[in-house]
Amino acid sequence: VNADRHLERMVRAASAAGDQGFAGLVIAPSPDLVYLSGYDPMPLERPTLLVIRPDAEPVMLVPDLELPPAREAPVGASIELIGWSDGDDPYEAAARLLPVDGRLGVGDRLWASHVLALQAVLPGCSFTTASAVLGHLRAVKDAEELTALRAAARAADSAFEGIRERPFVGRTEAQVASDLARLLVDAGHDRADFTIVAGGPNAASPHHEAGGRTIRPGDPVVMDFGGALDGYFSDMTRTVVAGEPPPGFEEVYGVVRDAQQQGVAAARPGVAAGDVDGVAREVIRRAGYGEWFVHRTGHGIGLEVHEPPYLVRGNDQQLEPGMAFSVEPGVYLPGRFGVRIEDIVSVTSEGAESLNRSPRDLLVVT
Ligand code: ZN
Ligand code: ZN
Ligand code: ZN
C-alpha cells in the first residue's frame, strides 16, 4: 500500500468533485477514508475529517491524541494534518478548511451528530452524500483491487469446498455456520463477516440467521458467506441438498442456475446495471416464479460488501471494465424451500469474468 496510489485517488476525487459542482468533500473514518488515504481509524465522537477540495490540497483534521497513528498512515507524511485538542471546537476548525457556501459532499458514513454540527457552522453550504462522487470512483477497481477481490473469492471457494465434504444431516445450522466461519479464516480471510446457513423452510428467508434447527434428510440448504481478505470482501452463495431433494426443488434449482448464468452473460461494458437484473429476472418470470424472486440481482463489492453499482430495476448506470459485483438471483417459496446462487464477477473489456469458480450444478451433501 503506497502513498502515491492514495494521493492519486485524492486528486481524482477532487477533480470529479469539481466536475460535479461540489465545493468540497468531507470524509470521516469509513471505507471512503480507507480508499482515499489508506487510514483506517475507529469512527468516534471526536471527529477525524479528511477535506478534499477541487481548488485546494487535501487536509485532514485529526484529534491531537490520534496524530501519531495518522502520521503512520500511507498518506500521513504527504498531506497536511491539522490537530485539534479536547476543548477546541473541531467543527469550527473544519469550517476554516471549507468554503462558506456551495455544495458539500459528506461521507455516507459520517455520523448525524457530525453532519448537524457542520451544518450549524456552515449555514451557507448545502449538503449531500459524497457517494455521488466517490461511488463511481470506488466502483471501478484498479488491477491491485481486482487481484485482492479475486484472492477473496478464491478463498471463499475453498471454504465451500471444505464445507461440502462435511456432514449436514443431524447438525444444526449454527454448527455448520461456525464451521464455515472457521474455514473462511483458514482459507486466508482476516475474518468471517457473515455465514448464512438456512435449511429446509428456513431457506425461503433470504437473510435467515443460522439457528438451532437441525438439518434433516431432504433439506435444501442455502449457504451465503464471506469476509474480508486484505480489506476486500468475498460474498458467495451455494444451495446444496442433503440427500434426496423435495418435490419441485430440482426444477427451481435449474431455473435459478439459468438466471444466474444468463445474468453473468449479460454483464458487459455499456450495459445498464438494471438491465442485468432484468435479464436474470426474466428467466425466473418466464418459468413462473417471478413473484418469489424478492430481491435485486446484485450489488457492487470491494472495501464494503455492499456498494455501488447496484443491479436493481431502474438503475441506468452503465457497466464499465473494472466494476465488480455479485450476480445472485434466488427463488424463495414460503414454507417449502429457497434457492440462491451467487458469484462475484468483474467486468472485462468485452464481458464479465466470474471470480468464484465453485461448481454451480446441484451438489448433494450427506
Ligand atoms: Zn444478502
Ligand atoms: Zn451473499
Ligand atoms: Zn451478495
| Rounded Cα gap, residues 142 and 236, in angstroms | 22
pLDDT of res. 1: 55
Task: Record the pTM.
Answer: 0.95
In whole angstroms, what separates CA 274 from the centre of its chain?
Answer: 17
Tell me the CA–centroid distance for residue 235 and ligand 3, in Å: 5
Please report which ligand is nearest the Cα atom of 344.
3
Please report which ligand is nearest the Cα atom of 207.
1
pLDDT of res. 362: 97
Q: One-letter amino acid identity for 352?
A: A
| Rounded Cα gap, residues 171 and 192, in angstroms | 20
Tell me the CA–centroid distance for residue 225 and ligand 2, in Å: 6
Please report which ligand is nearest the Cα atom of 326.
3
- Per-residue pLDDT tens over the stretch 285-306: 999 999 999 999 999 999 999 9
C-alpha closest to that of 79 among 106, 104, 50, 99? 50
Q: What is the DSSP string of 300-362?
A: E-SSSSSEEEEE-TT--PBP-TTBEEEE--EEEETTTEEEE-BEEEEE-SSSEEES--S--S-
| Rounded Cα gap, residues 219 and 79, in angstroms | 56
Q: Which residues of the chain have pLDDT under 70?
A: 1-2
Cβ(15)–Cβ(54) below 8 Å:
yes
Please report which ligand is nearest the Cα atom of 226.
2
Residue position matching grid coordinates 471546537: 89
Tell me the CA–centroid distance for residue 127 and ligand 3, in Å: 30
| Rounded Cα gap, residues 318 and 316, in angstroms | 6
Instruction: Supply 122's cell numbers.
Output: 456552515
